[in-house]
């Protein structure tokens, strides 16, 4: 079973617009990570936010974490065609194991 | 540093056969994890190894096994293949000092 659930499942936006996706999880965590996957290839780590952090930025990425609601959001600002990918949240629900959500597929239209 | 490498990249097998997939972690990383990705089940954790010891295992049948060698390279084996084993198998390595996992490109297995 998956620890995290992303919402929406799919998102289509125009180049230059912002993309927001959400992740909800079930159990207590030490940290939450976001990964990107391009077209069935390996995952690329984007950002990690610890349970005692509320917001984190990295370039055009902004991640928030609300442990009381067991949810996180990923915002990509000023999207580009290269941002077209699937995005996954992952939690360390168990020792030495990441549990991934189902992912949000983002399509950026030129 | 070279990234995580996985071999082979593509594999076609028939039901009942067995398969061995290989993963070489980033130099210096001693933890290797394996995941199965399918359209229906998403990313599912298979197992994690650190210094040749399995520290955690996912909810998969005993047909799925793995091992890690002293140089941290890892292999996973699937015996008596079933059609449902068709998937992208991803390997990831991490350092003992950080939680980030670095993924390889995956091995795409097709079982006919």
Distance of alpha carbon A52 from alpha carbon A59, whole angstroms: 21
As a whole number, mean pLDDT of residues A22-51 equals 93
**Rg (alpha carbons) of chain A, rounded to whole number:** 13
Mutate to test the interface with A, among B36, B42, B110 (most CBs of A within 10 A): B42
pLDDT reported for residue A39:
86
As a whole number, mean pLDDT of residues B103-109 equals 97
Q: What are phi and psi of B101, to 5 degrees?
A: -105, 140
Q: Which of A30, A42, A101 sits opposite B103 (nearest CB)?
A: A42
Distance of alpha carbon B110 from alpha carbon B112, whole angstroms: 6
pLDDT reported for residue A6:
87
Question: Cβ of A98 and B33 within 8 Å?
Answer: yes
As a whole number, mean pLDDT of residues A90-108 equals 90
Closest-CA residue in chain A for B104? A42
As a whole number, mean pLDDT of residues A25-47 equals 93
- How far from each other are the two terminal CA atoms of chain A, in whole angstroms? 36
Reported as a single tens digit per residue, the pLDDT across B8-61 is 999 999 999 999 999 999 999 999 999 999 998 999 999 999 999 999 999 999
Q: Scanning the structure block, which residue is given the tokens 């065609």? A: A81
Structure tokens belonging to residue A26: 């079930």
Residues of A in contact with B56 (CB under 8 A): 94-97
Residues of B in contact with A96 (CB under 8 A): 31, 33, 48, 50, 55-56
Q: Scanning the structure block, which residue is given the tokens 């391009």? A: A38
Query: How would DSSP label each residue in A37-66?
Result: E-TTS-EEEEEEEETT-SEEEETTEEEEEE
As a whole number, mean pLDDT of residues B76-82 equals 98
pLDDT reported for residue A1:
45
Q: What is the mean pLDDT of chain B?
A: 96
Residues of B in contact with A101 (CB under 8 A): 42
Question: What is the percentage of chain B residues whose pLDDT exceeds 90?
Answer: 93
Q: Do the beta carbons of residue A101 and residue A23 sit within 8 Å?
A: yes
Reported as a single tens digit per residue, the pLDDT across A51-89 is 999 999 999 999 999 999 999 999 999 999 999 999 999
pLDDT reported for residue B97:
85
Cα distances (Å, whole numbers) of residue A53 to A5, A64, A65, A84: 20, 8, 7, 28
Tell me: pLDDT of A3 over 70.
Answer: no
Residue A96 pLDDT grade (very low, low, confident, very high; cuts 50, 70, 90): confident
As a whole number, mean pLDDT of residues B64-78 equals 98
Q: Do the beta carbons of residue A107 and residue A11 sit within 8 Å?
A: yes
Residue B55 burial by Cβ neighbours in a 10 Å radius (0-12, 13-18, 19+): middle
Closest-CA residue in chain B for A104? B42
Residues of B in contact with A45 (CB under 8 A): 100-103
Closest to A23 (Cα-Cα) out of A105, A89, A91: A89
Closest-CA residue in chain B for A103? B42
pLDDT reported for residue A41:
85
Residues of A in contact with B48 (CB under 8 A): 96-97
């Amino acid at each position: 079973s998956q620890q995290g659930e992303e919402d929406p499942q799919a998102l289509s936006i125009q180049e230059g617009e912002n993309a927001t996706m959400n992740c909800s999880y079930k159990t207590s965590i030490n940290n939450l990570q976001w990964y990107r996957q391009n077209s069935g290839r390996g995952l690329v780590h984007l950002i990690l936010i610890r349970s005692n952090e509320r917001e984190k930025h990295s370039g055009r990425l902004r991640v928030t974490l609300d442990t009381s609601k067991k949810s996180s959001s990923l915002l990509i600002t000023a999207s580009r065609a290269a941002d077209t990918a699937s995005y996954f949240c992952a939690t360390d629900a168990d020792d030495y194991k990441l549990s991934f959500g189902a992912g949000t597929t983002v399509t950026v239209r030129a | 540093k070279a990234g995580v490498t996985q071999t082979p990249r593509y594999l076609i097998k028939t039901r009942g056969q067995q398969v061995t997939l290989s993963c070489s972690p980033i130099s210096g990383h001693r933890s290797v994890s394996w995941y199965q990705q399918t359209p229906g089940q998403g990313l599912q954790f298979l197992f994690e190894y650190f210094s040749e010891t399995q520290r955690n295992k996912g909810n998969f049948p005993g047909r799925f096994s793995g091992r890690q060698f002293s140089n941290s390279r890892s292999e996973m084996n699937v015996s008596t293949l079933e059609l449902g084993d068709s998937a992208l198998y991803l390997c990831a390595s991490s350092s003992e000092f950080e939680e980030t996992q670095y993924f390889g490109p995956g091995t795409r297995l097709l079982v006919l």
